Structure formats: structure tokens, C-alpha cells
Structure 1
Amino acid sequence: MNNNSGTDGITEDDIAGYLANTPGFFERHADLLASVQLTSPHGSRAVSLQERQMEMLRERIKGLERKIMEMIRYGQDNMAISDRLHRWTRAVMLTHDIERLAPVLVRELQHGFMIPQAAVRVWGVAPGLEHLPCAAEVSEDVKIFATSLVAPYCGANSGFEAASWFENAESVMSLALIPLRPDRQHQAFGLLALGSPDPTRYTADMGIEFLAQVGDIAGAALTRLLVQQ
């Protein structure tokens, strides 16, 4: 709606349009700029138009600085996560003793990412490896559940069998369950479980891209335990 100043039918929009389309106006009337007084947003005192513009510019700069600092912080966080993922992957790749592979994978994952509890189970292992803790028997329900996951599950611990794999199972309030596959087109041959006493550590609305990467790396590494097809 146009605001009418009541002067010969000229509206504020008319004035604004004229000034926008007549850039030389304030050059010809420089004294007008100095005489215009506005109320400062930081008090009741009057300030000149130039001062008000400077205040607006400073506020805009402060806003941009906050956004830049936020972007830097996110970048630093991402770099830290990338570095930890790199060190964990390297530790797994350097584990040549096949019987130590799963323990190293779990231990280094916990240490690198401060995960309170973690456990892994693999089925269909090669003969002679059935004695490994990671090859302990699991139910058919677990195998079906793992294969049904198209992405890591994150949420509350609502009585999942995998929660019983943890050393301190009763303390786990939230968990992440990550299916293990040789690649994303095959059925699961294992399940990696991460648990926390914090009910907000793993939630249904959290991003799972990182956990999916962990699952890809762990799945590729642990195929060494399987019966060779």
C-alpha cells in the first residue's frame, strides 16, 4: 500500500522512485544529506543519515563476520573428523593378522571417535575362524534385520539383540547399527553396533553419511574373514 504524504498527491513511493532514478540529486544537494536526522537504533539520540548508514554497515559486517567464523568452525570440525577417519582406516589396513582385525577395527573406532561402546558380529566366516569373538552366533532375526537396512539405523535402544553384545549393555540408551556388506549391492554379512549412555548421541534425525562411510570401510576390511566364493 502506498503511503500518501498528503502533499499534492505525491506518495512516499513516488519520492523513493524519483531518488532511485536520479542518482545526481544528492550530489547537487549535498547539504541536504548532512541535515537529515534519523533516530539511532541504539538509543533515542538523533544521528545523521551518513551515521545511520555507517551503523547499518557495521551491523552487516558483524553479521558477515559471524557467518565466516561459523563456516571456519564447521570446516575445522570436518577436517578433524576426516583426520580421525583417515587414522582409523590406516590402522585397519595395517592390521595383517586376520584374527586381530575385528578387535583393532572396534578399538580404534572407539578411541578415535570417543564412542563409549562398540561391538561387531560377522557370519559366514571361513573355516578355522569360528572361534573369533566377532564370529559368535547371532539369531536369524539379526541377519534379516542387517540385510534389510539400506542405511545405518540410529535411535533409542528398544531391546535390540545387538545391544547385548556390549560389555555394559544395560547402560546403553541410544545406538547406531551399521550393516556390513562387501558393497552396497550385496546382502549384509555382519553388523557393527555403536552404543552410548546418552539418549541423544544417536537419534533418528541425525546425519548418517559419516556412519555409512564407516560401514563401507569396515565392510570392505572384514570381508577378509569370510569364506571365499
Structure 2
Amino acid sequence: MNNDAMNPITEDDIANYLANTPDFFERHAQLLAAVQLTSPHGNRAVSLQERQAEMLREKIKALEHRIMDMVRHGNENVVIADRLHRWARKLFQVPSARELPASLVEEIQSQFMVPQAAIKVWDVDGAHAGEGFAQGVSEDTRTFASSLTQPYCGVNSGFEAVQWLPDPAMALSIVLIPLREGAASGAGPAFGMLVLASPDPQRFGAGMGTDFLERIAELASAALSRLRGQ
């Protein structure tokens, strides 16, 4: 019995043959013009060369979109970095340590267009222990702040810290930023926490990047060390 009849040629066989025989179309150049394919942009038939050109144009268009996205994200990062710089500069200009927490919060709201923000600092120097920013924090919240090794971004799940905000009911998405000595991602105990909030549930999503938030945490922590007598 003929082996070809038992093992008919498949499409994979043809594809493998063409892939391993690059000079096939050189010997049969007329086939390139004769092969007709259906265009993805309609029911009209197009030549193999035209279909390849369409595929190439689609790849180029996809690459252009990726490049534009990269440029857009790059521009957004430059804007955020500039705002971070202005915010940090304002911190250096605050003359009194007692004024730092309020100024820090006001400037974050102004520079980063955050609808609500609040801050609490504990373990402060005795001269500041009676200030509003140093009171009203439970031991559970202090422990929770110390457990965060990066800012929390997401929905408000009944966190005590949200009650520090002027209008807790409008905090539909929040950021909780632990304040500690050194790197924001360190394991040291937190001595404070910064809360950002928005009425937009998508503003502070769980998947958002935290690089700039960590820079805010480190700058704020360094500035607020003045309240701790350091």
C-alpha cells in the first residue's frame, strides 16, 4: 500500500516545508502574485504581498501606540516629579516644627490635587505632645502602620485613620502611608501615618504604583523628625 495514502500531507507539513525551503518562492515567483487571500478589512481578495504589507502596517501601528503610551507615561512622571520637588521645597521653608504637619498636608492637597488628606504623628517630643496631630491614635492603628512595608492603596475597609479626614464618608479610595526612619519599605516601627483620600473609587486603585508615594513617605518622615527632637 502506498505510504502517502496512509499518511496524507497535512497543512503543518506544507508549512514546515516552506519554512525550511526559503528559496521555494524564488523558484516559483509567479505563485506570490497568484495566491489570493481575504483582506481583514473587507471581503475583497488581496495578493499575498498585499496581505503581508497589511500585516506589517498593523504591526507598525501597534508599535506606534506603544511608543505614544511610553511618551505619555514619561511626561506624566516628569510632571509628578516636578510637583514632588515643589512640595519638598515647601517643607524646607516651614519655619516652625509645630507647623509642619498642617503645612505638609496642605501642600500635598495643593500640589497633587488630592481632595482630602490628614496626618498623625506619635512618639513626639514632649513640647508637641499636646498638639492635635499627636493625639487620637489607638495602639491598634500604630501597630497597623508599623506593619505596612509600602503604602496601602485601595478601598476604605473601615480603617480608623480614615476618621482623621474632614469628611470620612467621601473617602471611597484611599492611600495609607506609614512614616518611619529611613526607607519607606523598611521594617522599623512607624512613628506616624499620612492618609490621602478621594471620592473617586478609581483614583487610588490597588494596582497603582507606589514609587512616588514612597518618596513622599521618606521626605515627610525626614521633615517630621524635627517633632521628635532628632
TM-score tier after normalising by the smaller chain length? 0.7 to 0.9
8 Å contact kept, 1:130–1:136: yes
Q: What are the within-5 Å matches in structure 2 for residues 17-166 of structure 1? A: 17-166=16-165
- Using the alignment, how far apart are the partners of 2:117 and 2:173 within structure 1? 12
Output the CA distance in 1 between the equivalents of 2:152 and 2:78: 25
1:42-63 deviation digits (Å, cap 9, x = unpaired): 2222222211111111111111
One-letter amino acid of the structure 1 residue matched with residue 198 of structure 2:
S
- Shifted more, 156-165 versus 44-53: the winner is 156-165
Q: Which runs of 5+ in 1 are unaligned?
A: none
* Structure 1 residues 107-158: Cα deviation after superposition (integer angstroms, max 9, x where no partner): 1111111111111111222232234432234333332222232332333334
CA, structure 1 residues 16+145, in 2 after alignment: closer, same or farther (shift >3 Å)?
closer
CA contact (8 A) 1:118 1:192 kept: yes
Q: Secondary structure at the match of 1:23?
A: coil
RMSD: 2.6
Equivalent-residue separation in structure 2 for 1:31 and 1:102 (angstroms): 78
Deviations 1:66-107 (A, max 9, x none): 222122222222222222222212221333432322222111
Q: Which position in structure 1 is the counterpart of 2:170?
A: 171
Instruction: Report whether the alignment pairs 1:224 with 2:214.
Output: no
Match of 1:207 in 2: 209
Distance 1:41 1:172, change over 3 A: closer
In 2 relative to 1, CA 123–9 (structure 1 residues): closer, same or farther, beyond 3 Å?
closer
Amino acid at match of 1:99: R
Letter in 2 for 1:199: P
Q: Which range moved further: 23-32 or 209-218?
A: 23-32
Once residues 224 and 155 of structure 1 are traced to their aligned partners in structure 2, the CA distance between those partners, rounded to angstroms, is 31
1:164 positional shift: 2.4
Contact 1:124 1:227 in 2 (8 A): no
Q: Which amino acid aligns with 2:112?
A: F
Could you tell me which residue of structure 2 aligns to residue 194 of structure 1? 196
Equivalent-residue separation in structure 2 for 1:19 and 1:195 (angstroms): 60
Q: By how many angstroms is 1:205 displaced?
A: 4.2
> How many percent identity over aligned positions?
56
Please give the TM-score of this superposition, normalised by the length of structure 2: 0.83
Q: Tell me, what secondary structure is at the counterpart of 1:128?
A: helix
Aligned-partner SS, 2:128:
coil
